């Protein structure tokens, strides 16, 4: 199918979103809640574009991360109206999360140097993008979700402090765009969501590998034995080299 973005005709395949087509064509659309590996959320609204099915239609503002590509659709990505929407959204987000470098960078790129709205009584860097909760669900732990409604929403453990389901994989902290999930690694101790985990030391190198809880989750998901996860990649490389050495018959069956 062929559609046009900012006047340029572009090919697209059924099942693609407008965001995918636009990015492939080098059109820079900002996103905050979007992640290729997770189901699209459509909450930050930064990726909004204007679409028209027919040239005389009034433009409709839609999130490009979710809007399916359609044959013949006319898309505009940077009209004055859209730029004003993005600037306002970033102004709102920067007001909410003034300490986030990413939000500030995006805001400045859109002409907003500071949040101009009334700040929250208690600051937070969380913008409720739900990347963390979606990642946690993808990993299979389902340990965190959003609690509360509207502007009082927050990412939370069940019953505020029940961290039983957390496996300490750290994916939530890794995908968070504003860095507001605290993950502390001190040696083999990992603290996250108010819970402290032990990362099991590698049998070969002694370096921390994964938490026992995460290993159990991985074992359930993959069918591999739990203990197989307590060797680090470095340790496994060494074991592999030893095994090959043994097969080939060199170096007394061991590497240096």
Partner 1 sequence: MKQLVVTPIRCIGCRTCEIACAFSHPAGRTPGRSRIRAFPIRPPEGGIPVVCFQCDTAACVTVCPTATLTRNPRTGAIDYAEARCVHCRACVAACPFGNIGYDDASRRCYKCDLCSGDPQCAKFCPSRALEFA
Partner 2 sequence: MSERIASLAALEAWRTRLVAAHDPKRKAIAVCAGTGCKAYGSDQLTAAFRKAVAERGLDVDVRATGCHGFCERGPLVVIYPSMIFYQEVGRKNLAKDVAEILDQTVAAAPGAEQIVARLQYKTPDGTPVVHEHEVPFYKHQNRLILSFNGKIDPDSLADYVANGGYRALAKALGTLTPEQVLAEVDASGLRGRGGAGFPTGRKWRFCREAVAPLVNGVPTRYVVCNADEGDPGAFMDRSVLEGNPHGVLEGLLLGAYAIGAREGYVYVRNEYPLAVQRLTKAIADARAAGLLGADLLGTGFAFDVHVTRGAGAFVCGEETALIGSVEGNRGQPRFRPPYPAVSGLWGCPTTINNVETWVNVPLIVDRGAAWFAGIGTRGSKGTKIFSLVGKVNHTGLVEVPMGATLRHIVEQIGGGIQGGRAFKAVQTGGPSGGCLPEPMLDLEVDFDTLTAAGSMMGSGGMIVMDDRTCMVDVARYFIDFLIQESCGKCTPCRDGLIQMGHLLHAVVEGRATRATLDRLEALAPVVRDASLCALGQTAPNPVLSTLKYFRHEYLAHIDHRQCPAGVCKALITYRVNARCTGCTVCAVQCPEKVIAGEKKGLHVIAEDRCTRCGVCHSVCTFGAVDILPGRGGKE
Contact footprint for partner 1 (CB under 8 A): 35-38, 135, 138-140, 169-171, 174-175, 209-210, 214-215, 218, 221-222, 224, 228-229, 231-241, 244-245, 248, 250-251, 255-256
Determine contact, residues 49/29, Cβ cutoff 8 Å. Answer: yes
Nearer to partner 1 (CB atom), residue 67 or residue 171: 171
Least distance to partner 2 from the beta carbon of 157, Å?
A: 16
Nearer to partner 2 (CB atom), residue 88 or residue 196: 88
For 140-143, which contacts have Cβ atoms below 8 Å and span 24 or more sequence positions?
140/217, 140/220, 140/221, 141/165, 141/166, 141/167, 141/169, 141/217, 143/167, 143/193
User: How far apart are the C-alpha atoms of 74 and 141, rounded to whole Å?
Assistant: 41
Per CB under 8 A, 206 contacts partner 2: no
**Which residue stretch of 6-14, 42-50, 193-201, 247-255 sits at the interface with partner 2 (rule: CB under 8 A)?**
42-50
Per CB under 8 A, 73 contacts partner 2: no
Determine contact, residues 28/18, Cβ cutoff 8 Å. Answer: no
Residue 72 interaction partner, one of partner 2, partner 1, none, beta carbon < 5-8 Å per kind: none
Least distance to partner 1 from the beta carbon of 228, Å?
A: 7
Least distance to partner 1 from the beta carbon of 235, Å?
A: 7
Burial bucket for residue 94 (CB in 10 Å: 0-12, 13-18, 19+):
buried
Least distance to partner 1 from the beta carbon of 15, Å?
A: 15
> Cα 171 vs. chain centroid, distance in angstroms?
8
Q: Where are the alpha helices (DSSP H) in the chain?
A: 18-24, 80-96, 101-109, 131-139, 171-175, 212-222, 233-248
Per CB under 8 A, 89 contacts partner 2: yes
Determine contact, residues 229/221, Cβ cutoff 8 Å. Answer: no
Residue 146 interaction partner, one of partner 2, partner 1, none, beta carbon < 5-8 Å per kind: partner 2
Least distance to partner 2 from the beta carbon of 106, Å?
A: 12
Q: Which of 85, 104, 89, 117 is nearest to 179 (CA)?
A: 104
Question: Given candidates 7, 37, 149, 252, which one binds partner 2 under the rule CB under 8 A?
Answer: 149
**Contact set with partner 2 (CB under 8 A):** 40-46, 48, 61, 63, 66, 68, 81, 84-85, 88-89, 92-93, 95-96, 117-118, 127-128, 146, 148-153
């Amino acid at each position: 199918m062929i559609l046009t973005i900012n006047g340029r005709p572009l090919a697209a395949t059924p099942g693609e979103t407008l965001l995918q087509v636009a990015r492939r064509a080098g059109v820079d659309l900002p996103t905050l809640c979007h992640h290729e590996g997770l189901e699209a959320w459509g909450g930050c609204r930064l990726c909004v574009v204007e679409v028209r099915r027919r040239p005389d239609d009034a433009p409709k503002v839609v999130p490009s991360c979710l809007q399916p590509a359609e044959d013949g659709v006319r898309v505009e990505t940077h009209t004055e109206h859209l730029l004003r929407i993005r600037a306002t959204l970033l102004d709102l987000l920067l007001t909410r999360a003034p300490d986030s470098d990413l939000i500030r960078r995006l805001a400045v790129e859109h002409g907003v140097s500071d949040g101009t709205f009334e700040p929250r009584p208690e600051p937070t860097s969380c913008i409720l993008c739900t990347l963390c909760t979606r990642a946690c669900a993808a990993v299979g732990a389902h340990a965190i979700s959003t609690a509360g409604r509207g502007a009082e929403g927050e990412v939370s453990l069940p019953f505020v402090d029940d961290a039983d389901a957390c496996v300490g994989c750290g994916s939530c902290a890794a995908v968070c765009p504003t860095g507001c999930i605290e993950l502390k690694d001190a040696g083999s101790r990992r603290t996250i969501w108010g819970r402290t985990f032990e990362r099991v030391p590698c049998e070969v190198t002694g370096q921390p590998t994964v938490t026992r809880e995460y290993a159990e989750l991985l074992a359930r998901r993959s069918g591999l034995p739990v203990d197989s996860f307590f060797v680090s990649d470095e340790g496994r490389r060494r074991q592999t080299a030893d095994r090959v050495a043994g097969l080939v018959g060199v170096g007394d069956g061991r590497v240096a």
